[in-house]
Structure 1
Amino acid sequence: MTLSTGDTLRQIQQRIQQGSFDEAETQINELLVSEQPPAITQELYYLLAVSQRFRGALDAAAVTLNTLLKLNPSHARAFQERGYVYQAQGNGLAAAKGFYQATQLNPALLSSWKMLLPIYQQADQQQAQAVAEKQIAQLEKLPRPLLGAYDLMYEGKLAQAEQVCRQFLQQHKHHVEAMCLLAEIGQRLKIYDDAEFLLESCVELEPDNQTARAQYLGLLLRTGKYTKAREQAEYLLEQAPQHPAYTVSLASALTGLGENEKGIALYQQVVNKVNQPADVYLQLGHAQKAIGQFHDAVASYRKAYQIRADFGDAYWSLANTKTYSFSKSEVAEMKALAISDDTSEEDKIHLYFALGKAFEDQQDFAAAFDFYASGNQLKHRQSGYNPDKTTQMVDAQIEHCSKALFAERGHLGAADVDPIFIVGLPRAGSTLLEQILASHSQVDGTMELHNILGLAMRLRGRNVNQEPAYPKNLHEIKDEYFAAFGQQFIENTRAYRGNAPFFIDKMPNNFLHIGLIKLILPNAKIIDARRHPMACCFSGYKQLFGEGQDFSYSLDTMARYYRDYVRLMDHWQQVLPGQVLLVQHEELLLDSETQIRRMLDFCGLPFEPQCLEFYRTERSIKTPSSEQVRQPLNTRAAQQWRHFEPYLQPLKRVLGDKLLEQYSQYEILDCDQSRG
């Protein structure tokens, strides 16, 4: 009888526990010879290191752990095991570092906290000692299943963590700690509506539970529900006036609502009162950048990395202004940090992307691509993105969102004409289109709103073992739901608008849900921001996104996503003829007035000259293109991707000659491809 993988790993663990180290290691080495899934390979190396340490082969264990950490630099238990190895070798300082790194990656590792506590006590590090004591106390009071669920979550085993947590809640229905944990797992799975419901329930069950309320506040900020977030932050500040973290959250909510000056004032008020001022300076810089205070934003980002030297996000934020030029000393510092073993993987990712931008500015395109590729490789491994799932989603939209569906149900939605959706791929020019339209007196620009994606997620259902209910259920749900969903969208987005009769939602990923949009809001206008495949894909590849867009961290998956996008947009043109306006970025740059008038006509808006001078419009812009759309259109560096063409053959190959031929007319243009 052949053992399953799980049974085999358990058998190895039992042999190690029984002291049968030779048998365990022989079995591990036999398995490592054959190809295994990455997670299994990592577990085998971890067990090998444990066995080697137990039998006293400390040098061999150290080598094994180095191999494991090259495979997965975020493997918390590998750092914990490294701490044990160094401790056995009598290297107390290195052991402390290992245990500390383990707790940073997995705060539920009780053993590492307990190993750190006497080290902090002996060194008289009172603040660190207090943190360790608090964490140990919190972990020890947790029911064992919840401690196990936390451990699984931090190890990235989200499905197992969710299962353990749900089983616990079946026996303890209103256990707030368990509900908060399940909500955090939901956030990591990007099931935001379930997480919000759980946290809202926690707040109702225990109104004075500041931990649950703060977690609820954090989720509202993450999902862009700034009105609710403001209410929660103000409530918490009533209970704890001047609390720095709650003040920062209120500042984030205010900037999200467009009250940037108030938010900036709060950031500045609290920056010297928090434990992590570098993080606050980073957020302050983002708020300043959003309203065009470029020099102030740069100063804030610099302050952030001056406070925390390895703060990769501060360096990347400087690069992400798109107009900042790094000094030689900054580049040298970033290179040193990027190769240091002390730099976290997350910081390294940010540093690699920032270095790519720095060397691209220096026209050292080979070095720039190496850094971009290094950052993408780490990020791609983190994301676990599966392009087949996107292809399946597109297939489902094409199958179920047919002409017959719109003929039968296309009249049922809310009649509102307010929304203008700008869809497409990131870095395709959507911010530029939004800035042009938002310069019109009758149009409010907002932000990348999550509402349609959230509705699609709710309709999709939660059972991962079954075929998703959405979009098939668009044929089945009750007629009245369509108008209700449309009206709910209008009401929930009102907080982001001014007084103009029209407003823009520029969430690019909404291209997947145009069918849903036209069913709930049949009078909504939809604009497809399109850009040459090579230019768009490479621009996305060298962009480190704040969240989402996981397809962009590999040339292969980037190309597949673009092909699926074009395939679906072609479908929408067939089943919704004349209802989606395609605006080609290169044509806009060649003849801006013609394309701008075309957009305005499509939206039913009279021509206004200020749309031609969109760069003079002052408004909050949070996307990477914020500085670029504050400049007039220009025709520089149209073929920016051509500098990197020798390294982009995998991208060309997957896009395919047929698709690229459709856009060949734009390859000779001398226009600015860096917008959007």
Structure 2
Amino acid sequence: MTSQDIQQHIQSVKLALQRSQLTQANASIQQLLSQQLTQAQQVDVLYLAAVASRLTGQHQEARSHIDTLLSLRPDHGRAYQELAYNYEALNQSQDAATAFFNATHFNPALVSSWKKLLVIYQHHNDKAAQQLAESQLAYLHSLPSPILGAYDLMYEKQLSAAEQVCRRFLSQHKHHPEAMMLLAEIGVQLKVYSDAEFLLESCCELYPENERAGAAYQGLLSKLGKFPKAVEVARRRLANAPNNNAVKGSLAHALVGVGQLDEAIDIYHSVLEENPDRPSMWVSLGHALKAKGDTNDAIVAYETAAKHNKSFGDAYWSLANTKTYTFSDEMLAQMELQLQASNTQLEDAIHLCFALGKGFEDRAQASKSFEYYCRGNSLKKRTLPFDIARTEAALEAQAEACDEALMNEFSGCDAPDPIFIVGLPRAGSTLLEQILASHSMVDGTMELHDILSIASSLSNKKKAYPYNLADLTDEECIALGEQYLSQTQAYRQNAPFFIDKMPNNFVHIGLIKRILPNAKIIDARRNPMDCCFSGFKQLFGEGQEFSYSLTDIGRYYRAYEKLMDHWHAVLPDFILTVQHEDVLHDLEGQVRHILAFCGLPFEPECLSFYQTKRVIKTPSSEQVRQPIYKTGMQQWKPFEAYLEDLKAIVGE
């Protein structure tokens, strides 16, 4: 069958099920299952097979189809709803309740599952859960039917179909707030961030009292690293709802983003004093304390979160992610027990796997550690629509578009202020940032999203980015450079230079050269096996989707290396490559080299960088608050037997 034939067969099965033509549906399903299907088609067919099996009373067969489906897509809400229906039919009420909960967790638009949960909560006299279910059902019932349907499509990852439904509705109901918010959320998932931001900003202007719009807008601003604006939105929301603890927490999160840690910590403490049973807020408090350098207090906050909710995976991962914490035997056993529990949520399971990987690595149990790292990465990867081939093509497009002729055109803003540190995550960029931020003429900031945001805005032009870089006029280049400086001003103090440590900016060096020709760029390199394996062990808060497969991360490293070779060829002397191992072996020599490249005089404070007090929000925060050490080198060696696929791509 062709792909088109398969889609037509899938539609015919849906129609047959709607008409209760089960024999016909089952025959078509068997025919489809014998075909070579894409993963998306396989998910669709398995779901229909589960429905058909349940309707014919074949509950074990239905379970088998659902198990296979969830192994491909562990976040498939409707699969959990089907699972719940089967448990109900078998009078397994507790399992059914758990499955209905999972269904609404992954697809909050499933009215049937919410109704089932409401009955369960009423039966158990769980007032808080009952109120939540009633509130969600009231909201879903208030939505226009097409928008509810579009939400369902979006949660099931059918983004194109959801977008079509939403745009069709908006063409007839201009400025409908729920439709605008939904279209923005679809835009976020499609990574069309500038469109999503415009929609939410417009929605907030049109409906300033709409709390859902305000929360969505602030959430997107934080995702994009636009924390100064996020603080503004949060304060406006809090003025409308001064007693709303969720809004208080969101303000604190935004304040951490701009480095106003004391006010953020005070807010977290005030909310937790009122109600200490808030595990996620304890974790947020821990993050703020860790960024400030109060590691011991951060650990207490993370441990408190785990005490309030023993299955809260983020609490354990946050402890592991300090890189200095050692789990006790009791806590390791507790984590393993929680991971085995049938009611543990997917996100918690992912966090627990990474935490257990770190815990057993610290005990030199490489086999067990790697088993958990693999399991966590596999679960995470199955929730992401990532294709390494598309990323490789995008990096090749940068090299093709930004040829030597274009890179020799000098325009843009003349300011020499920014020092960009680029490369792969876990390559030693935080150490370089800390060294430079210890200089009296340099402000340390954080991983700023502004170049990525400018690149995203250029993607919406008639000619695709990066090919439209050649079409930018001198005036446009100057304006974009000035825009970057204006947007990043809030993160600076009074030094003449500042650091932007967003690793992914290596992709956009051509854009940087066009709009900020006097900027400095430092490429942080590390032994590829150490760098890639360190990335594989890291559960990132956002992005870095290539890191959840050893093959993907190896291919990404090679594509990065190839693109950096291109930048060096077309921009000689514009980029300084700093090898992490060289810094460890010859700190002073490398520091002098880096400072000379940046046009900065030598200052001995850069050698005692670990004494510099500043906000650090990356996983390496504790590692750069101590003198140089070499124990991070060759950490992949104990796992060598499991890394053949990676070694075949990047070598040693």
Provide the TM-score with structure 2 as the length reference.
0.97
SS in 2 for 1:342: coil
Residue number in structure 1 paired with 2:517: 522
- The reply to whether residue 647 of structure 1 matches residue 639 of structure 2 is no
Residue number in structure 1 paired with 2:259: 258
SS in 1 for 2:382: helix
Counterpart CA distance in 2 for 1:325 and 1:355 is 11
1:608 corresponds to which letter in structure 2?
E
- The reply to whether residue 459 of structure 1 matches residue 454 of structure 2 is no
Counterpart CA distance in 2 for 1:276 and 1:181 is 32
Matched ranges for 1:607-626 at <5 A? 607-626=602-621
Residue number in structure 2 paired with 1:493: 488
Q: Kindly provide the CA deviation profile for residues 533-579 of structure 1, in whole angstroms up to 9, marking residues without a partner as x.
A: 11111111111111111111111111111111111111111111111
Counterpart CA distance in 1 for 2:17 and 2:567 is 59
Residue number in structure 2 paired with 1:213: 214
Counterpart CA distance in 2 for 1:131 and 1:635 is 51
Residue number in structure 1 paired with 2:467: 472
Q: 1:583 aligns with which of 568, 578, 586?
A: 578
1:334 corresponds to which letter in structure 2?
M
Counterpart CA distance in 1 for 2:346 and 2:470 is 45
Residue number in structure 1 paired with 2:427: 428
Matched ranges for 1:172-571 at <5 A? 172-273=173-274, 277-407=278-408, 409-410=409-410, 412-461=411-460, 469-571=464-566
SS in 1 for 2:445: strand
**Higher alpha-carbon deviation: 264-273 or 286-295:** 264-273
Counterpart CA distance in 1 for 2:289 and 2:399 is 42
SS in 2 for 1:527: strand
Structure 1: which 5+ runs fail to align?
661-676
Shift of 1:208: 1.6
**Higher alpha-carbon deviation: 70-79 or 201-210:** 70-79
Counterpart CA distance in 1 for 2:301 and 2:113 is 35
Shift of 1:206: 1.2
SS in 1 for 2:636: helix
Counterpart CA distance in 2 for 1:126 and 1:93 is 18
The 3 A distance-change label for structure 1 pair 163 and 274 is: farther
**Higher alpha-carbon deviation: 113-122 or 316-325:** 113-122
Residue number in structure 2 paired with 1:666: none
Counterpart CA distance in 2 for 1:50 and 1:462 is 44
Residue number in structure 2 paired with 1:50: 51
Counterpart CA distance in 2 for 1:538 and 1:454 is 29
The 3 A distance-change label for structure 1 pair 209 and 18 is: closer
Q: Kindly provide the CA deviation profile for residues 52-103 of structure 1, in whole angstroms up to 9, marking residues without a partner as x.
A: 2212223332333233333332221121112222222333333222222211
2:346 corresponds to which letter in structure 1?
E
C-alpha contact 2:421 2:522 (8 A) present in aligned 1: yes
Counterpart CA distance in 2 for 1:70 and 1:402 is 44
Shift of 1:275: 9.6
- The reply to whether residue 595 of structure 1 matches residue 590 of structure 2 is yes
C-alpha contact 1:244 1:273 (8 A) present in aligned 2: no
C-alpha contact 2:225 2:450 (8 A) present in aligned 1: no
C-alpha contact 1:443 1:500 (8 A) present in aligned 2: yes
Counterpart CA distance in 2 for 1:400 and 1:9 is 41
Counterpart CA distance in 2 for 1:301 and 1:394 is 38
The 3 A distance-change label for structure 1 pair 498 and 637 is: closer
Shift of 1:243: 1.7
The 3 A distance-change label for structure 1 pair 393 and 64 is: closer
Provide the TM-score with structure 1 as the length reference.
0.94
Shift of 1:272: 4.7
Counterpart CA distance in 2 for 1:273 and 1:611 is 43
Counterpart CA distance in 2 for 1:273 and 1:167 is 46
Shift of 1:638: 2.2
Shift of 1:637: 4.8
SS in 2 for 1:427: coil
Counterpart CA distance in 2 for 1:331 and 1:125 is 31
Shift of 1:114: 1.8
SS in 2 for 1:581: strand
Q: Kindly provide the CA deviation profile for residues 121-144 of structure 1, in whole angstroms up to 9, marking residues without a partner as x.
A: 333222222222221121112111
> How many pairs were matched up?
651
1:516 corresponds to which letter in structure 2?
L
Counterpart CA distance in 2 for 1:326 and 1:111 is 42
Counterpart CA distance in 1 for 2:525 and 2:67 is 45
Shift of 1:399: 1.3
Q: Kindly provide the CA deviation profile for residues 360-406 of structure 1, in whole angstroms up to 9, marking residues without a partner as x.
A: 10001111111111111111222232111122122211112112112
RMSD: 1.7
1:548 corresponds to which letter in structure 2?
G
Shift of 1:352: 0.8
Residue number in structure 2 paired with 1:572: 567
Counterpart CA distance in 1 for 2:101 and 2:629 is 50
Counterpart CA distance in 2 for 1:462 and 1:307 is 49
Counterpart CA distance in 1 for 2:57 and 2:368 is 43
Counterpart CA distance in 2 for 1:469 and 1:18 is 46
Counterpart CA distance in 2 for 1:58 and 1:462 is 52
SS in 1 for 2:578: strand
C-alpha contact 2:83 2:99 (8 A) present in aligned 1: yes
Counterpart CA distance in 1 for 2:97 and 2:404 is 64
SS in 2 for 1:216: helix
The 3 A distance-change label for structure 1 pair 141 and 555 is: same
Counterpart CA distance in 1 for 2:629 and 2:96 is 56
Seq. identity, %: 54
1:277 corresponds to which letter in structure 2?
R
Counterpart CA distance in 1 for 2:366 and 2:59 is 43
